[in-house]
Amino acid sequence: MSDTSNRIDSARRAFLNKAGAAAGAAAIAPGVFLTTPAVARPADQPVSSEKRWGILVDTNKCASNCDACVTACKDENGWGSTEHHSSQEQQSQWIRKVEIRNRSTGFVATLPLMCQHCEHPPCVDVCPTGASFKRADGIVLVDKHICIGCRYCMMACPYKARSFIHEDLEDQLPWAPRGKGTVESCTLCVQRVDNDGTPACVEACSAENHNALVFGNLNDENSDISRELARAESIELRADLALNTGVRYRGI
Amino acid sequence: MKLAPNYREIEGKSTGFRVLLGGLGLLAALAFGAFLYMEHSGHYVTGMTNQIVWGMPHVFAIFLIVAASGALNVASIGTVFGKSLYKPLGRLSGLLAIALLLGGLMVLVLDLGHPDRLIVAMTYYNFKSIFAWNIILYNGFLAVTIVYLWFMMERKMNRYYRAAGTVAFVWRLILTTGTGSIFGWLVARSAYDMAMLAPMFIIMSFAFGLAIFILVLMAAYSWTGRPLGDAVLFRLKNLLGVFIAAVLYFVMVYHLSNLYATEHHGVERFILMDGGIYTQLFWIVQILIGSLLPLAMVYHPTIGKSRPAIATASLLVIIGGMAQVYVLLIGGQAYPLEIFPGYEVTSSFHDGVVNSYSPSIWEITLGVGGVAVALLVVTIAIRVLRFLPVSLADDAVDPHAAKAD
């Protein structure tokens, strides 16, 4: 008997809780969604600055012997085994694993390093033709049609994020065009992001259960990345340059 | 009495002239071949990498472009500052400036990843880019200097030539400021990121341009048997001494400023002490052979009056200048980017290590071709147009200056 009434009570409590929450949400925020519904941006509409994409790299979770993010980027964007004549120093690298060791304390960490998708990208500032550009949503890209291959952006990038293609390429992927004599770098997997996807590196890190990479909209305070950034410390690389990078690091 | 120097084309019928033309033409043709090979294959056949992105062609190109603006100085001193001794040299000065700029730009353009997109570079402008401004400044410099030369050479336009010379002088100062700022505004790299690079490039241009001017002048007058008096030559070599000293001063202030800031100790240690080839090039070639030695030579009471010594000193300034550009350009890139200050860094992408660069024969051939094209332009121009005074003997140039000397 008492068991039954307890069950009813808990069911009623659960119902009232939900109803109350729903009523509260309806009352305080009509027309506002607490989570953004997943609707891909139609191809004929421009990207907007309502979103700013970013990645948080938690180096505490980044495994030193793992380069799943690098492998995933190669597979997704078709670099890594396509340059047969170029020396190792000449081959493209869109993302790389870096090991750092503090000179005074001996602390060691590993992390992926790629285009930091700066709000004020030096590569875009110096590009003579405007081939280096930043989309409204913060993704920094190279327009391969007007890149003259002057490589000034590579001189200007503080993160050595860009590569120059030293030879003819074959079997390119349709969603990641590349070309001899032009400069390229991480696109934040723009082909995925534009279809509400996640960059390949982030997906691969999660698949490995490391979850060192969090991707999302920095302008949405309820996104996973914004909540993580608000919860604990993080830094920009070369913060002294005040570039306001889209990629941030924790644990170093 | 106002002097009107008599200008005349060179005869250009001797075997020596044909050999010179043929030799320079051959070097230019080889450079074109090297360009075709590099463009067809891709830059993998060069020494450049994703670490050293600007290599030997840029060293030649930047040297030539800097020297170009400096070569115009001789004309400016005559026109803008009214020094009559320099006035007969104005035409050659303007011509040399145009020729050196053409040679430098040729190398720069032919080393692009996409030289076929030159039209893109001329039609798409990002006005925040100092590189884009430089494209405008280079083209403008050619136009301004051609007008200046025309006003100088066309009697009817003579009355405007002082104005044109002033515009050209101001333009060249802005142009070299732009070239220096290509490096000075690279905030990310320890070796650059200094506003002082702009005035340093200007003073470098004074020295490089004048050294080339002296050599071309001496060669042209000696090979054509025209008289070149001590008044002109000694004035020029004394001026060269001032410019060498000024470059040394700027180099010293540049390094002292960097040495004061702890964050730049790494790059300074690299260039001044541990940098291997860059350290050797800096101390032995740039400072000792390229600056101190020619400085001592031009001011030495007896050696300074010897023509072979003056020519040698000018040549040493050019060699030292090439070394200076090489150390700044390649050395500045060889030193790793400081992405993680206070950390040792390792990666598959050569982070945290000194990058190596060995120029390929193709890059050197292209660079030498730029020099050849510049000299070819000068050689042909003085053959077909009246650039050179028949005599630069002391009494022909400026009797008062000759007396005073």
Contact of B262 with chain A, judged by CB distance below 8 Å, is answered with no
Q: Do B135 and A157 touch (CB under 8 A)?
A: no
Contact of B127 with chain A, judged by CB distance below 8 Å, is answered with no
User: B295, exposed or middle or buried, with CB in 10 Å at 0-12, 13-18, 19+?
Assistant: buried
Q: Do A148 and B117 touch (CB under 8 A)?
A: yes
- CA distance to partner chain A, nearest, from residue B322 (Å): 20
Residue of B35, B41, B44 to mutate for A, most A C-beta atoms under 10 A:
B44
* Cβ contacts of A127 on chain B, cutoff 8 Å: 126, 129, 131
Q: Among B117, B339, B349, whose Cβ lies nearest the Cβ of A238?
A: B339
| pLDDT for residue A190 is more than 80 | yes
Taking CA–CA distances from A104, the nearest residue in chain B reads B342
User: Which residue in B69, B31, B95, B65 sits closest to B380, CA to CA?
Assistant: B95
User: Which residue in B76, B85, B82 sits closest to B399, CA to CA?
Assistant: B85
Q: Residue B396: its pLDDT value, please?
A: 87
Residue type, B106: M
| Cα–Cα distance measured from residue B35 to residue B23, given in angstroms and rounded to the nearest whole number | 18
Q: Residue B402: its pLDDT value, please?
A: 46
Q: Residue B1: its pLDDT value, please?
A: 44
* H/E stretch holding A58: strand A53-58
| Cα–Cα distance measured from residue A72 to residue A57, given in angstroms and rounded to the nearest whole number | 16
- Contact between B148 and B80 under an 8 Å Cβ cutoff? The reply is no
Crossing angle between the packed helical segments B230-260 and B307-326, to the nearest 10 degrees? 30
Q: How many beta-carbon pairs below 8 A join chains A and B?
A: 176
The answer to which of A41-45, A82-86, B308-312 has the lowest mean pLDDT is: A41-45
Q: Residue A41: its pLDDT value, please?
A: 72
- Contact between B19 and B329 under an 8 Å Cβ cutoff? The reply is no
Q: Among B131, B337, B342, whose Cβ lies nearest the Cβ of A160?
A: B337
Q: Residue A42: its pLDDT value, please?
A: 76
- CA distance to partner chain B, nearest, from residue A166 (Å): 5
Taking CA–CA distances from A114, the nearest residue in chain B reads B349
Q: Do A164 and B50 touch (CB under 8 A)?
A: yes
Model ipTM? 0.93
In a domain, B191, yes or no: yes
- Contact between B56 and B359 under an 8 Å Cβ cutoff? The reply is yes
Average pLDDT over residues A59-86: 96
Q: Among all chains, which residue has been given the structure tokens 């001063």?
A: B249
- CA distance to partner chain A, nearest, from residue B53 (Å): 7
- CA distance to partner chain A, nearest, from residue B113 (Å): 4
Contact of B216 with chain A, judged by CB distance below 8 Å, is answered with no
Q: Please state, in angstroms and as integers, the Cα–Cα distance from residue A189 to each residue in A78, A181, B133, following that order.
A: 12, 22, 33
| Cα–Cα distance measured from residue B138 to residue B176, given in angstroms and rounded to the nearest whole number | 10
- At residue A11 the predicted structure's pLDDT band, cuts being 50, 70 and 90, is low
In a domain, B2, yes or no: no
Q: Residue A98 has what DSSP assignment?
A: E
In a domain, B259, yes or no: yes
Q: Among A100, A158, A168, whose Cβ lies nearest the Cβ of B344?
A: A100
Average pLDDT of the residues of chain A: 90
| Cα–Cα distance measured from residue A182 to residue A146, given in angstroms and rounded to the nearest whole number | 9
Q: Do B51 and A89 touch (CB under 8 A)?
A: yes
Q: Work out how many domains chain B is built from and give that number.
A: 1
Strands A95-102, A53-58: pairing kind: unpaired
Contact of B43 with chain A, judged by CB distance below 8 Å, is answered with yes
Residues 6+ apart with CB under 8 A from B105: B61, B65, B138
Give the tokens for residue A184. 């390229």
Task: Kindly write down the DSSP assignment for every residue of B202-225, as one continuous string.
Answer: HHHHHHHHHHHHHHHHHHHHHHHT
Q: Mark residue B82 as left, alpha or beta (left: phi above 0; alpha: psi -120 to 50; beta: remaining).
A: left
Q: Residue A28: its pLDDT value, please?
A: 52
Q: Among all chains, which residue has been given the structure tokens 């400044």?
A: B137
* Cβ contacts of B118 on chain A, cutoff 8 Å: 148
User: What is the model's pTM?
Assistant: 0.91
In a domain, B1, yes or no: no
| pLDDT for residue A35 is more than 70 | no
In a domain, B384, yes or no: yes
- CA distance to partner chain A, nearest, from residue B57 (Å): 12
Contact of B308 with chain A, judged by CB distance below 8 Å, is answered with no
Residue type, A231: R
Residue type, B298: V
User: Which residue in A250, A122, A252 sits closest to A185, CA to CA?
Assistant: A122
CA atoms within 13 A on the CB side of B77: 18
Residue of A83, A98, A111 to mutate for B, most B C-beta atoms under 10 A:
A98
Q: For a pLDDT cut of 90, what percent of chain A falls above it?
A: 80
- CA distance to partner chain B, nearest, from residue A152 (Å): 8
* Cβ contacts of A100 on chain B, cutoff 8 Å: 340, 343-345
Contact of B264 with chain A, judged by CB distance below 8 Å, is answered with no
Q: Among A149, A158, A168, whose Cβ lies nearest the Cβ of B188?
A: A158
Q: Residue A39: its pLDDT value, please?
A: 58
In a domain, B339, yes or no: yes
β-bridge mates for residue A95, sequence order: A114
Q: What is the domain range of residue B21?
A: 7-404
Contact of B118 with chain A, judged by CB distance below 8 Å, is answered with yes
| Cα–Cα distance measured from residue B376 to residue B381, given in angstroms and rounded to the nearest whole number | 8
* H/E stretch holding B404: helix B399-404
| Cα–Cα distance measured from residue A189 to residue B160, given in angstroms and rounded to the nearest whole number | 59
Contact of B358 with chain A, judged by CB distance below 8 Å, is answered with no
Q: Residue A171: its pLDDT value, please?
A: 86
Q: Please state, in angstroms and as integers, the Cα–Cα distance from residue B155 to each residue in A162, B1, B95, B106, following that order.
A: 54, 18, 18, 32
Q: Do B126 and A181 touch (CB under 8 A)?
A: no
CATH of the domain at B362: 1.20.1630.10
Q: Residue B110: its pLDDT value, please?
A: 98
Q: Do B351 and A147 touch (CB under 8 A)?
A: no
Residues 6+ apart with CB under 8 A from B195: B184
| pLDDT for residue A32 is more than 60 | no
Residues 6+ apart with CB under 8 A from B82: none
How confident is chain B (405 residues) per 10-residue block, as mean pLDDT? Answer: 76 94 98 98 97 98 98 96 93 98 98 96 94 96 97 91 96 97 95 95 98 98 96 97 98 96 94 97 98 98 97 98 98 96 94 96 98 98 97 82 46
| pLDDT for residue A130 is more than 50 | yes
